[in-house]
Structure 1
Amino acid sequence: MRHALSALAIIAMSGTSAFAQRDFDQVEIKTTEVAEGVYMLEGAGGNIGLSVGADGAFVIDDQFAPLSGKIMAAIAEVTDKPVEFVINTHYHGDHTGGNEAFGEAGAHIVAHDNVRKRMKEPNILPDGSTAPPSPDGALPIITFSEAMSFHWNGQDIHVWHQSAAHTDGDAVIYFKDANVVHMGDLMINGGYPFVDINSGGVLSGYVAYYEKVLSKVDEDVKIIPGHGALASKADLESYMAMLNEVRSRIQAEIDAGKTEDEAVAADPLSGLNEKWGQGFISGEAMTRAAYKSLTAEHQADHDH
């Protein structure tokens, strides 16, 4: 199957437009306290991070526009303070769809420079179709290039972008005092990552993020992935080992002179797919994305 990326993944990237037919009425928002004053909210789309305290609510990602009311209600169950900041881990619609509603309610939207840039433009989806630009009210009004910090609710909250990985606008959010990290879609707990090549994604960019996070945290850290269950340091270590193995195996196929289809036919991720290939991204989709990314990186190196 050529288009091995799941329909759900394609829909998620496109934001609310492709989700018009979906019935959001059945979605319930689940709230889990992961550390004192820090929560993970799950619904449909990317996992949401939430910091509450005297200064006001600080939100990481906001899923789809039709869920904004439910998400706001779930936040109101935890705090009576308004949402002052929403930070996006990247631009995909299942993480930014609620921006407009939160912005209208008074929140300041924050993201990497490239998130604003991509949200302002039509974007090519994995199936080749095009998603329209985001509404002006959904755009980040504060952007950063490499790093920024918030000193909020008694927390030092560090945000950084190292390089292109999932997209070219990824951000990690680290609550140093609470010992919590939100990885965005740099980590899909229990499944292969989606390297969004059309959005500047680069397979080799992921590991540097993992190494930096692992250098900062202790054994008790709680990691909020972009999708999937709350994760531990050991989970992130095994995720990094998996991705290094994927890269090694696909590079071996490239070095052997195989075409992309020949590499897929060789089933190079056999033994990994049983654990990692059951989610958004199949083993074939991971193989194709890794092949495309690694060959593009090789070409870029030669061009320089």
Structure 2
Amino acid sequence: MKFKAVLAIFVAGGMAASAAAQQTGTGGPPPRPAAPPRAGSPLPPPEPIEHITGNVYKIFGGGGNTLVVVQHDGVILVDTKMPGNGQAIMDEVRKITDKPIKTIICTHSHPDHTGSTDFIRDLYPDVRIVMSEGTKTELAANPQVNPKLLPTETYKDRLTIGEGDERIELFHTGVGHTGGDTFVVVPAAKLLFMGDVMAWNMAPFLPAGGAEAIATETEKLVDAVKGMGIEIVVEGHGHVNNWAGLTRLSHFNRALVNAARAAYDRGDAPGVAVAELQRNAEFAPLLDTHIKKGLEYGNTPLARAHMNVNVAYTEFSGEQAGFGIANGAPLPATDKHKGSDPKDTAPPTPEMLAAAVDK
């Protein structure tokens, strides 16, 4: 996927200007950034570091969650938020350790997960930066990419970093949220970090793959790690979940495709498929109608389900979903299917935003 398509995700959220303004410098060590995003920014600033278990922590806000793993000779970071958050990340890490940053792992190419890698690389020039081949390809497709965001090494399907109790396992199981999604397992902590294939406990955003692809990707992930005793599942944004939450998401992604296929074949509108999903009590957490903390620029889990059904309809009909459909534009009726109800994916009202959960 071209970088401009990736960046379009953040145009919708009002974030692209910040990314473009801060992601171009390649000079010496960057200055301490002006503090948190400006008033009215769609992103909350980084919050105080949160202990998850053992030697594993997370930092919420300023973009995706940053996972912090403290080891005997240094710190592993997974994802570095939007540009301009490097100092904030380091300030939080320094609350728990003075050890150097030795490795950065990037779960995918989007700037709210890779944006402050350059800052940390300036502080630690020998830092190891690891990502999948697909993530490197997407980053490098941007002709203005900052070279300091690019990896020192890549992997294809699976990579082991370290050994013994400090072993980290990386998995890439296919195209889904992006073309290079990485899942990070910390075996000693029985912990899996999902990136944006699981974020805010809702159906994933599908700018790169599609409804069928994300269902297959999550099923392959569950199969790949099911024997590792995973108990803690950290979402790419938002919360700490668990193994039951991950398997529920995997079941939901497949059920969404199946319900969409059945509705499409009957000639029903896309909303009928979502109504079918709502009849399954297992899926209620994934069909919530609240705006989630940190996603005030986005929409509800229920709206995301409608978006993904619309994407599935375009797949069945051989049409191109495009960024608009994946991000909430109504699905137009064609000679192959009925269109969607614009209300199903309409932007949240001011009242919904004012009632956002966990504020």
Give the TM-score of the pair, scaled to structure 1: 0.79
Equivalent position of 2:119 in the other structure: 101
Q: CA deviation at 1:18?
A: 6.1
Distance 1:12 1:223 in 2: 29
Higher relative contact order (CA 8 A, sep 6+): 1
Residues 1:29 and 2:47 aligned together: yes
Equivalent position of 1:66 in the other structure: 84
Equivalent position of 1:126 in the other structure: none
The code of the aligned residue for 1:71 comes to I
The code of the aligned residue for 2:253 comes to L
Q: Cα RMSD between the aligned structures? A: 3.2
Question: Does the Cα contact within 8 Å between 1:195 and 1:201 map onto a contact in 2?
Answer: no
Aligned CA distance change for structure 1 residues 78 and 87 (closer, same or farther; 3 Å): same
| SS across alignment from 1:195 | coil
Equivalent position of 1:203 in the other structure: 214
Equivalent position of 2:13 in the other structure: 11
Equivalent position of 2:311 in the other structure: 289
Question: Does the Cα contact within 8 Å between 1:166 and 1:201 map onto a contact in 2?
Answer: no
Distance 2:249 2:18 in 1: 29
Of residues 231, 234, 250 in structure 2, which corresponds to 1:224? 234
**Structure 1 residues 52-109: Cα deviation after superposition (integer angstroms, max 9, x where no partner):** 0221000000101111110111011111011111000111111111111122222221
Count of residues in correspondence between the two structures? 277
**Structure 1 residues 116-136: Cα deviation after superposition (integer angstroms, max 9, x where no partner):** 1111223xxxxxxxxx74311
**Structure 1 residues 110-160: Cα deviation after superposition (integer angstroms, max 9, x where no partner):** 1001111111223xxxxxxxxx74311111121111111111694111111
Q: Mark the runs of 5 or more structure 1 residues left unpaired by the alignment.
A: 1-5, 123-131, 298-304
Equivalent position of 2:63 in the other structure: 45
Residues 1:89 and 2:91 aligned together: no
Residues 1:169 and 2:180 aligned together: yes
Question: Does the Cα contact within 8 Å between 1:203 and 1:293 map onto a contact in 2?
Answer: no
Distance 2:80 2:147 in 1: 16
Q: CA deviation at 1:28?
A: 3.6
**Structure 1 residues 236-293: Cα deviation after superposition (integer angstroms, max 9, x where no partner):** 122122212211111113333x5xxx633x4421226884364545243222223334
Distance 2:71 2:164 in 1: 5
The code of the aligned residue for 1:157 comes to I
The code of the aligned residue for 1:48 comes to T
Q: Mark the runs of 5 or more structure 2 residues left unpaired by the alignment.
A: 1-7, 23-35, 292-297, 320-359
Identity of aligned residues (%): 20
Equivalent position of 2:136 in the other structure: 116
Aligned CA distance change for structure 1 residues 114 and 22 (closer, same or farther; 3 Å): same
Distance 1:198 1:192 in 2: 13
Aligned CA distance change for structure 1 residues 296 and 143 (closer, same or farther; 3 Å): farther
Aligned CA distance change for structure 1 residues 274 and 198 (closer, same or farther; 3 Å): closer
Give the TM-score of the pair, scaled to structure 2: 0.68
Residues 1:160 and 2:171 aligned together: yes
Distance 1:13 1:112 in 2: 24
Of residues 249, 253, 273 in structure 1, which corresponds to 2:259? 249
Question: Does the Cα contact within 8 Å between 1:52 and 1:58 map onto a contact in 2?
Answer: yes
Distance 1:178 1:38 in 2: 8
Aligned CA distance change for structure 1 residues 96 and 55 (closer, same or farther; 3 Å): same
Structure with the higher strand share, 1 or 2: 1
Deviates more, 1:37-46 or 1:15-24: 15-24
